Structure 1
Amino acid sequence: MLDDFMVRATLAGVGTALAAAPLGCFVVWRRMAYFGDATAHAAILGVALSLALSLPVFAGAMVVALVMATVVALLSGRGYAMDTLLGVMAHSALAFGLVAVSFLTNVRIDIMAYLFGDILAVSRGDLAVIWGGAALVLALVGWRWSALLVSTLNPDLARAAGIDPRREQLVLTLSLAIVVAVAIKVVGVLLITALLIIPAATARPFSRTPEIMAGLASVVGVAAAWGGLRLSYSFDTPTGPTIVCVVAVMFCLSSIVAALREGVSRRRTSGSA
């Protein structure tokens, strides 16, 4: 069954979506979109180092993403605004990564595949990495779910309950680095943040609890991966960007439905009054 490249691509998209969606909820709640973008951009430097040292791309991307997140955490609050610091780090890492790739004269590399993904070229080994990473992220988030929620909602309350917010931030950072590393093959470093944020934002208007939001975000992410892959195959369009286009349309539709529902609710309230 895994000899069919479309089956492998579908499994890769589903695995990435399942890992990214619950984590994306915390990115949305904590307003860490730029942090995710910076971590993803840094992954290109990890790709270059992996190829230069003949190491697995997953390992290099994850290590550099973790280093990036650690540096940002150490430098934050030391005279730099967070958005300025993330902007400098994100674009600097991407630029250094692209320059480093240009020096790899003995290695043939399709840089566009790393920037925008190449899900149709996913191998069995890539599938094992993607699903292994997804399982690890889901295990980490599930294990620390309550502590992550409390530290996200109120760090002071978390400390009073014996929870260290910095430790939970480290868990979130590690999970984010893993997602970035496994998603490179599917949507590329320039579109990873979209797969993190948009499913969570799409699910938010219809979620009464954090758990429901995470579940709906996973459904949205999986549907976008499957739909984008099919549309890309039918219309011969770039697969990674097509997946993001599908989830963006889903977000627009959810926003329209949420606005209409709110309008109806207001009219009912005013009518009963």
Structure 2
Amino acid sequence: MLDDFLVRAALAGVGTALAAAPLGCFVVWRRMAFFGDATAHATLLGVALALALDISIFAGAAALALIVGLTVDRMAGPRLSGDTALGVLSHASLAAGLVAVSFLSGVPVDLSGYLFGDILAVSRTDLAVIWGGAAGVLALIAWRWSALLTATVAEDLAIASGLSPERDRTILTVTLAVAIAVAIKAVGVLLIAALLVIPAAAARAVARTPEGMAGLAIVIGCASALAGLQASLMFDTPAGPSMVCAAAAVFAVSRGAAALREARG
């Protein structure tokens, strides 16, 4: 079954959605969309370093995403706002990644594939990495769900309950780095943040509980991945961007449904 590239692509899309969608809920709740974008941009530099050092691309991408995420968390303060730190590191790391790739002489680099994804070319090894990463992300979120949710909704309540919001923020950063590294093959560096945010935002418009939002985000993410692949085959469009467009269409429908429900009272 895994000899069929379409089956591998579908499994890769679903695995990516499983990793990104529930984590995207915390990105939406914490208003971290730009944070996700910045850490995603950093992965291109991680890819370049991994190719230069002949190590796992997943490891290189996850390491750089984690470094940038933790650096932003430490840089933000009274003299430098969080969004400014994100802006600096986001564009600087992306530019550094593009420059680093240009120095990789003798190493075949599909820059378009890393920027926009190449899900139709996933291998069995890629599938193992994607599903292994997705399992790790889901396990970590399930383990820390209550603590992460409390620290997100009411930081003072989390502290009063004996929790450490700073520790949970670090756990969230680590999980985000893994999810971003997992998603590179599917949607590329430039579209990873969209796959994190859009399914969660679409689910938020109709879900009534945090758990319901996370579950619905997973359904929307998986459905968008499969619908995007189908559209890519039908219309000969890039698979990664087609997946994001499918998710955006679901978001538009969900927002319309929410607006209609509010209008009816």
Q: TM-score range by the shorter chain?
A: over 0.9
- Mapped partners of 1:18, 1:51: distance in 2: 27
Matched, 1:165 2:165: yes
TM-score (norm 2): 0.99
Are residues 83 and 66 of structure 1, via their aligned partners in 2, closer, same or farther at CA, if it must alter by over 3 Å? same
Q: Please give the per-residue CA displacement for 1:137-179, whole angstroms capped at 9, x wherever unaligned.
A: 0000000000000000111110110000011001100110001
SS for the counterpart of 2:146 is helix
Matched residue SS, 1:206: coil
AA matched with 1:28 = V
Q: Which residue of 2 aligns with 1:85?
A: 85
Q: Output the CA distance in 2 between the equivalents of 1:226 and 1:239.
A: 10
TM-score where L is the length of structure 1: 0.96
Output the amino acid matched with 2:16: T
Which aligned pairs between 1:52-201 and structure 2 lie closer than 5 A? Answer: 52-201=52-201
Partner of 1:237: 237
Shift of 1:50: 0.2
Please state how far the C-alpha of 1:234 moved relative to its aligned partner: 1.1
Alpha-carbon distance in 1 for matches of 2:156, 2:4: 52
Cα displacement string for residues 10-34 of structure 1 (whole angstroms, at most 9, x for unaligned residues)? 0000000011111000000000001
How far is 1:81 from its partner?
1.1
The amino acid across from 1:211 in the alignment is E
Please report how far the alpha carbon of residue 189 of structure 1 lies from its aligned counterpart in structure 2 after TM superposition. 0.8
How far did residue 8 of structure 1 move? 0.2
Q: Does 1:31 align with 2:26?
A: no
Counterpart code for 1:41: H
Distance in 1 between the 2:9 and 2:36 partners? 24
Instruction: Output the CA distance in 1 between the equivalents of 2:81 and 2:66.
Output: 20
Aligned-pair CA distance for 1:249: 0.8
Report % sequence identity.
64
Gaps of 5+ in 1: 266-273
State the 1:257 CA deviation. 1.1
Deviation at 1:251, TM superposition (A): 0.5
RMSD value over aligned CA atoms? Answer: 0.6
In the alignment, the residues of structure 1 paired with residue 178 and residue 93 of structure 2 have an alpha-carbon distance, to the nearest angstrom, of: 18
Query: Could you tell me which residue of structure 2 aligns to residue 48 of structure 1?
Result: 48
1:203 is matched with which residue? 203
Q: Within 1, Cα distance between the matches of 2:74 and 2:84?
A: 14
Q: 1:45-97: CA deviations, max 9, x gaps?
A: 00000000001100000011111111111111151111111001000000000
Q: Distance in 2 between matches of 1:148 and 1:189?
A: 26
**Distance in 1 between residues matched to 2:157 and 2:253, nearest whole Å:** 36
Tell me, in whole angstroms, the C-alpha distance in 2 between the residues paired with 1:95 and 1:262. Answer: 44
Partner of 2:221: 221
Q: State how far apart, in whole Å, the 2-side matches of 1:132 and 1:30 are.
A: 26
> Aligned equivalents of 1:29 and 1:17: distance in 2?
18
Alignment coverage as a number of residue pairs: 265
Q: 1:249 aligned to 2:259?
A: no
| CA–CA distance in structure 1, aligned partners of residues 64 and 261 of structure 2 | 44
Displaced runs of 4 or more, over 3 A: none
Partner of 1:270: none
